[in-house]
Amino acid sequence: MSRSASSPDRQIFMVGRGGQGILLLARALAEWAGRMGCDVITSETHGMAMRGGTVTASLKVGAYAGPLIPAGSADVLIGLDAEEAMTHLFMLRAGGVSIVNARDKGLFSHAVDAAQAALSLGAPGAVNMIMLGFAARLLGIDRAVVEDIVEKISPPGALAANRKALGAGYSIQET
């Protein structure tokens, strides 16, 4: 990324399927931006989330207007599902970065098999936290800040798994 975490103006588009934790991921990144003292605008689309349908979240950090990210304008796309990420690549600007849970890099800028890593941890529902750790590392976001945010926003029963998954995300290697 050409922008550092110290000048975080950016538009981040997140996509996945219902139940994957897109909204918690978006909340964590919005909390980070707020702690940086930035203006934050968020937007979510749930659709058929209860049935595994598409879920998207938009995060605008900095001096932006309106909650939606126009097609071709996102600086970063984070995909918890490779098929959904592929379908939404049109959201990225030229030179934008895609960070996707996928077994193969394909057309994505960065890919990690977060699903397999989550299974290995015994926490198959923690793909979002692995992707948060991986994306935060790539975006230059301080790990201690993200760990504190995860402590604050995790559901009580998921905190231990989320901690472990976040750590795995910071150390996971690309596929």
The confidence score (pLDDT) of residue 46 equals: 72
The confidence score (pLDDT) of residue 8 equals: 62
Q: Is the model's pLDDT at 175 over the cut of 90?
A: no
The confidence score (pLDDT) of residue 49 equals: 58
Reported as a single tens digit per residue, the pLDDT across 78-98 is 999 999 999 999 999 999 999
Looking up tokens 């659709």 gives 47
Considering only residues 74 and 52, tell me which one the structure prediction assigns the higher pLDDT. 74
Q: What percent of the chain has pLDDT over 70?
A: 93
How high is the mean pLDDT of the chain? 92
Reported as a single tens digit per residue, the pLDDT across 130-143 is 999 999 999 999 99
The confidence score (pLDDT) of residue 7 equals: 52
Which domains, ranges and CATH numbers included, belong to the chain? 10-171 (3.40.920.10)
The confidence score (pLDDT) of residue 4 equals: 45
Reported as a single tens digit per residue, the pLDDT across 35-73 is 999 999 999 887 665 677 899 999 999 999 899 999 999
The DSSP-derived string for 80-144 is: SSHHHHHHTGGGEEEEEEEEEE-SS-TT-SEEE-HHHHHHHTT-GGGHHHHHHHHHHHHHT--HH
pTM across the whole model = 0.92
Q: Region 103-113: what's the mean pLDDT? A: 95
The confidence score (pLDDT) of residue 5 equals: 47
